[in-house]
A and B are shown apart, each in its own frame.
Chain A
Amino acid sequence: MAEQPLLEIKNLNVSYRSAVKTIRAIDNVSLSVNRSEIIAIVGESGSGKSTLGLSIINLLQKPPAVVDSGQILFQGKDVIKLPEREMASLRGTGISMIFQDPLSSLDPVYTVGWQISEAIAMREKRSASWKPGPFKREDSEPAPPSGGARRVVGVRLPRSRRRGAYSEEVIEALKRVQIADPERVIDRYPHELSGGMAQRVMITNAIVQRPSLLIADEPTSALDVTTQAQVLRLMREMRRDLGASILLITHDLAVAAQVADRVVVMYAGEVVEFSDASRIFKKPLHPYTEGLLNSIPRKYREEGRLEAIPGDVPDLRSPPSGCRFHPRCKYAFERCAAERPHLVEPEPGRMAACFLRYSS
């Protein structure tokens, strides 16, 4: 490929260590994300999908996490080796991340407008033409406006102080994520928002910084299905309008199908399948992907039972030998228990780690 991918992960290994045990959370994972591409990482609990997201933005808690080996190249630079100072300036404008629970990621004592203004100010500061504007939180930090105090005493702080600067751009951005009545929402505190609104504020926070890569870790799992549909649409628009790449981390194959160009399926810390979205849902190459698809209740009651994957997600403290999926796999044969399959390319552009896909 002529164009360099935006993000390239090469042979990444991450483990969590305690005095007694080491858990290999990410096992030799390689993948690349192109510009303006949406990639979904699908996996169940313990698959390592969230650890992967945190590794990319370099927010793993170390210890207990340790990056054992591998490279994460973002625009050619290895973020693992990047000094924290440079990493900090990359976060937000280069790589941005949103999480499952928006309320724990928003600062409870600042209004929505204030927090988004801060994000815009960070962006402006980093651009070459930045001049000190009206927003100067670092130099002279005004007392945080407290919602409680405002109510009890009945004194309303001046609008300019509660909103921060850039209120026009903030309102514009809130409109773009389909928040009704942005002029009022801008003055609200996070606890006054519903879950769907808070998640859209988080997304606004990420969008205004115009990141080249957005990592979205289960962005819709805490939301109702009608709100989820809106947020998924928002992700597609964000790619279309801003040209951002999105790494969507989810446990839900159906969510992945709605937005992703390519899908990465992880199981017990490994990538077991990597394929474009148009083919993986029609004909999965790995038995685990096939099992996951069959587990989605798509039929009516009278149409019979589901073909469930037997057993449970493996305990990473003592992973099974050979292929990690073999104890649950209906196609497993002797070799699967003895040897670990590596990723092969049975069809152009599609990878799977399964002996069934090895060409003889």
Chain B
Amino acid sequence: MSERLLEVDRLVKYFPVHGSLGDQIRRRPRLNVRAVDEVSLSIGSNETLGVVGESGSGKTTLGRTVLMLERPTSGTITFRGQTISSLKGEQLRQLRKKMQIVFQNPYSSLDPRARVRDIIAEPLRAFGAARGVIDREVERVLEAVNLPEDSTLRFAHEFSGGQRQRIAVARALIVSPDFIVLDEPTSALDSSVQAQILNLLRKIQDDIGLGFMLITHNVDVVKFMAHRVAVMYSGKLVEVGNTRAVLESPFHPYTSLLVASVPKPDPDNKIGDVNIVGEVPSAVNPPPGCRFNPRCPYAQDVCRRDEPLLREVAPGRWSACHFAGELKESPTPGSA
């Protein structure tokens, strides 16, 4: 087992909802979007943790908060033994050398007026690197992401989506970080290009050794990329564990639903009647008890009353379901 790189303990991030003027006059209590609610997890130094969830599950907020791009409402984040959730100013800035992020959309995350060299070198320049160092490092990361050397003087718009995402990865790599959050790194790319970028990210991890938090809605991408997977639902972690174990024998009914809903490129293997109505609940006013209970085929009274805690059900397998381990067969008929 690789050493712990990042540890997150009961991390909470709320965003206040601004009520109407009438609400304020009547002094109604302030409401919050509970984007990340008591999330605990850890990532090893050479590990990819996949964070999978649907829109509104809080996965992007989790990624941003872990990097201290959002200030946590409560909870602690420990990076290589140092508590970073209380850092401010210059100390926080220095941290950016070690933690980086790659965003979903390479069409909007790269400055259209800057040359590729300047885009990639910017993090180094922010830390006052000398010109010679910058040239050498730019060359190094360009090679790492397989971009031709002559791309440095061109502009981002001259590149295709896949190449732009390579530029974004190069920019993250140039400060030699220990940890990168990949926020939907291939969702904006064509499917034939997605595979190239996924292969590249894995090669980079194997070559230089760093931790990834891979945020995605795509179960297939997690399957191929992640050592371990964390499933989020409505701001909560509902299941964490080894990728193959979680996807093949999920402990949480939501994970089962998610896995069963993934279409397979095989007409003989159709998604069965995924007979679950309803949608992801509002994160402002989540249902009491388990947040999945209104959609769960196994919901009992206890699920509507008590919120289940994430607990270790089997070695290395965590689930936040009152009946984890007791629901043996997959609850959705689709997986047959």
A199 to B262, CA, bound (A): 19
User: Which residues of chain A come closer than 8 Å to B227, judged between CB atoms?
Assistant: 301
- Chain B residue nearest to A253 in the complex (CB): B265
For the complex, give the distance between the alpha carbons of A227 and B278 in Å: 9
Number of A-B contacts (CB under 8 A): 142
- B244 near A296: Cβ-Cβ < 8 Å: no
Across the interface, do A292 and B192 meet the contact criterion of CB distance under 8 Å? yes
**A304-343, CB < 8 A from B:** 305-310, 312-313, 328
Q: How far is the CA of A128 from the CA of B36 in the complex (A)?
A: 57
| Beta-carbon nearest neighbor of B295 in chain A | A226
B49 to chain A, nearest CB (A): 12
- Chain A residues with Cβ below 8 Å from B160 are 312-313
Tell me the smallest distance from the CB of B281 to a CB of chain A, in Å: 11
Chain B residues positioned under 8 Å from A305 (CB to CB): 199, 202
CB proximity to B under 8 Å, residues A282-298: 291-298
Known: A312-B193, A313-B192. A254 touches B265 (CB 8 A): yes
Q: In the complex where A224-B55, A225-B262 touch, is A278 in contact with B267 (Cβ < 8 A)?
A: yes
A301:B267 contact, CB within 8 angstroms = no
In chain A between 42 and 85, which residues have their CB closer than 8 angstroms to a CB of chain B?
44-45
**Known A-B contacts A180-B278, A233-B271; A301 and B217 likewise in contact (beta carbons under 8 Å):** no
Considering only CB atoms, which chain A residue lies closest to B263 in the complex? Answer: A254
Q: In the complex the two chains form, what is the Cα distance from A196 to B56 in whole Å?
A: 13
Q: Which of A226, A253, A281, A300 has the most CB of B within 10 A?
A: A226
A251 to B218, CA, bound (A): 15
In the bound complex, residues from chain A placing their C-beta under 8 Å from that of B161 are 312
Interface residues in A241-297 by Cβ distance below 8 A to B read: 251-258, 260, 277-278, 281, 291-297
Contact between A44 and B195, CB atoms less than 8 A apart:
no
Q: Are A258 and B263 in contact (CB under 8 A)?
A: yes
Residues of A within 8 A of B225 (CB): 297, 301
With a 10 A CB-CB cut-off, give which of B190, B202, B226, B334 has the most chain A CB atoms. Answer: B190
Bound form: Cα–Cα A268–B6 in Å: 45
Residue from B190, B263, B276 within 8 A of A255 (CB atoms): B263
Nearest-CB residue, chain A, relative to B261: A229
Which of A224, A255, A297 has the most B CB atoms < 10 Å from its CB?
A297
Assuming the A-B contacts A226-B258, A292-B192, A313-B160, are A257 and B267 also in contact, with contact meaning beta carbons closer than 8 angstroms in the complex? yes
Given contacts A225-B54, A295-B192, contact A277 B278 (CB under 8 A): no
B243 touches A308 (CB 8 A): no
Q: Determine whether the beta carbon of B263 is less than 8 Å from that of A301.
A: no
Task: Assess A306 versus B258: contact at CB under 8 Å? Given A229-B274, A251-B190, A301-B243.
Answer: no
Check A299 for interface membership: any CB of B closer than 8 A: yes
Does B279 lie within 8 Å of A194, measured CB to CB? yes
Distance of B215 from chain A, by nearest CB (Å):
14
Chain B residues with CB under 8 A of A255? 263
**A residues within 8 A CB of B70?**
none
Contact, CB under 8 Å: B267 / A277 = yes
With both chains docked as a complex, state the minimum distance between the C-beta of A191 and any C-beta of chain B, in angstroms: 15
A89 within 8 A of B: no
Please name all residues of chain A whose beta carbon is closer than 8 Å to the beta carbon of B162 when the two chains form the complex.
Answer: 312
What is the bound-complex CA distance between A258 and B264, given in angstroms? Answer: 7
Q: A180-B278, A300-B244 given as contacts; is B192 within 8 A of A225 (CB)?
A: no
A351 within 8 A of B: no
Say yes or no: A299 contacts B263, CB within 8 Å.
no
Q: Counting CB contacts under 8 A, is A5 at the interface?
A: no
Residue pair B279, A297 in contact (C-beta under 8 Å): no
User: Residues of A contacting B226 with CB < 8 Å?
Assistant: 301
List, in ascending order, chain B residues with CB within 8 A of A301's CB.
48, 202, 223-227, 243
Are A226 and B191 in contact, CB atoms less than 8 angstroms apart?
no
Q: How many angstroms from the CA of A302 to the CA of B273 in the assembled complex? A: 31
Give Cα A175–Cα B190 distance, bound, in whole angstroms.
Answer: 35
CB–CB A308/B257 < 8 A = no
Contact B263 A229, beta carbon cutoff 8 Å: yes
Q: B54–A296 contact, CB under 8 A?
A: no
Q: Hey, which chain B residues are within 8 Å of A253, CB to CB?
A: 191, 265
Does residue B221 face the partner (Cβ distance < 8 Å to A)? yes
Contact A297 B271 (CB under 8 A): no
Give the nearest-CB partner of B271 in chain A.
A229
- Distance (whole angstroms) from the CB of A78 to the closest CB of chain B: 33
If A306-B199, A313-B193 touch, whether A226 touches B243 (CB-CB below 8 Å) is no
B278 contact set on A, CB distance < 8 A: 180
A228→B263 CA distance, assembly (Å): 9
Q: Are A308 and B190 in contact (CB under 8 A)?
A: no
Q: Which residue of B lies closest to A179 (CB)?
A: B277
Whether B223 contacts A299 by the Cβ 8 Å rule is: yes
Question: Is the beta-carbon distance between B191 and A195 smaller than 8 angstroms?
Answer: no
Measured CB to CB, the closest approach of chain A to B317, in angstroms, equals 16
Closest to A260 in B: B267
A309 to B217, CA, bound (A): 23
CA distance A217 to B332 in the complex (A): 28
Alpha-carbon separation in the docked complex, A279 to B100 (Å): 45
A45 to B162, CA, bound (A): 12
Residues on the B chain within 8 Å of A228, using CB: 261, 263
Asked whether A44 lies within 8 Å of B192 as measured between CB atoms, the reply is yes
Digitize A108-140: 1 where CB-to-B-CB distance is under 8 Å, 0 elsewhere.
Answer: 000000000000000000000000000000000
State how many angstroms separate the Cβ of A266 from the closest Cβ of chain B: 13
Q: Can you give 15 A-B contacts (C-beta < 8 A)?
A: A178-B277, A197-B279, A225-B262, A257-B264, A277-B267, A278-B267, A278-B268, A292-B191, A292-B192, A298-B223, A298-B224, A301-B48, A301-B223, A302-B244, A306-B198
* Chain A interface (Cβ < 8 Å from any Cβ of B): 44-45, 178, 180, 194-197, 224-230, 232-233, 251-258, 260, 277-278, 281, 291-302, 305-310, 312-313, 328
B interface with A by C-beta (< 8 Å): 48, 54-55, 160-163, 190-196, 198-199, 202, 217-221, 223-227, 243-244, 257-258, 260-268, 270-271, 273-274, 276-280, 334
Of all A-B residue pairs in the complex, the 8 with the closest CB atoms, nearest first, are A297-B224, A308-B195, A224-B54, A295-B195, A229-B261, A254-B263, A44-B190, A309-B192
